[in-house]
Amino acid sequence: MTDRRRLAYLEALGVDVYVRRGAEAVAEPAARPAGAPEAGALPVPLAAGRGPEADLDWDPLRAMVAACARCMLHGTRTQTVFGVGDRRARWMFIGEAPGAEEDKQGEPFVGRAGQLLTAMLKALGFKREDVYIANVLKCRPPGNRDPKPDEALQCRGYLERQIELVSPALIVAVGRIAAQNLLGTDAALARLRGKVHALAPGGWPLIVTYHPAYLLRSPAEKRKAWQDLSFARQVYGRLQNGERVLP
């Protein structure tokens, strides 16, 4: 990647860059945070059991989600937020749950956080329509609180089926809550970043990064998010070359 291109990617993400006088080059952060362990699997079972959605194609699955009443969230939602993007995408991004704007518009990651996610995708060389974006929950929790375990469990089959249908090469968990729910762990985000995790039951390679809403509150962390994206690009490149990224 050229220095000019790296600079453009960092600017798209909103990372402050400093260019030496008389030079365009900008140092790219290390692909893996200092001190982070080498890529490895986290063998955590994910499957919540095969439900009636397990064999559905896209349109019946979307209709089932729209009519879902498996948990109490159906009583407070405006509409479900199914997912958006290329249904054959090689990259899939998964957040935690819809917020107020998502609940109104029926699309994940809109508003300010969505704009920053779009910039993160641009930093990777993608448009929103080039990837697939979904959430752990399909309904907004009241007050944008964290998903409850039973809520995530009731939605799990829908998300697993979406992953199966997309069949991405790489999944990016966006934020601590999404990562912990997907991987079945209470580990801190710092421990989850910089590794390739195995997402059961399909063994999908998964990488963890910050949620855009957190980056809006803590803009100094955007450089770490760029490290995550750079690491994700490296892992994807290895996958494209037929290399193993998981033990």
CA angle 9, 11, 16 (to 5 degrees): 125
CB of 124 closer than 8 Å to CB of 233: yes
Domain edges within the chain: 3-240
What SS3 state is found at 199? strand
Asked if residues 192 and 208 have their Cβ atoms less than 8 Å apart, the reply is yes
DSSP track, 72-133: GGGGT-SS----EE-TT-SEEEEES---HHHHHHT-SS-HHHHHHHHHHHHHHT--GGGSEE
Residue 170 DSSP one-character state: E
Phi and psi based region of residue 203 (left: phi greater than 0; alpha: psi -120 to 50; beta: remaining): left
Q: Going from the first residue of the chain to its last (247 residues), give the mean pLDDT of each consecutive group of 10, the final group possibly shorter.
A: 55 56 37 34 42 95 97 97 98 96 96 94 94 98 93 95 97 97 95 95 94 95 96 96 92
pLDDT at 154: 94
User: Can you give the pTM of this predicted structure?
Assistant: 0.84
In CATH terms, the superfamily for domain 3-240 is: Uracil-DNA glycosylase-like domain (3.40.470.10)
Query: What was the pLDDT predicted at 201?
Result: 83
Q: What pLDDT is stored for residue 237 in this prediction?
A: 96
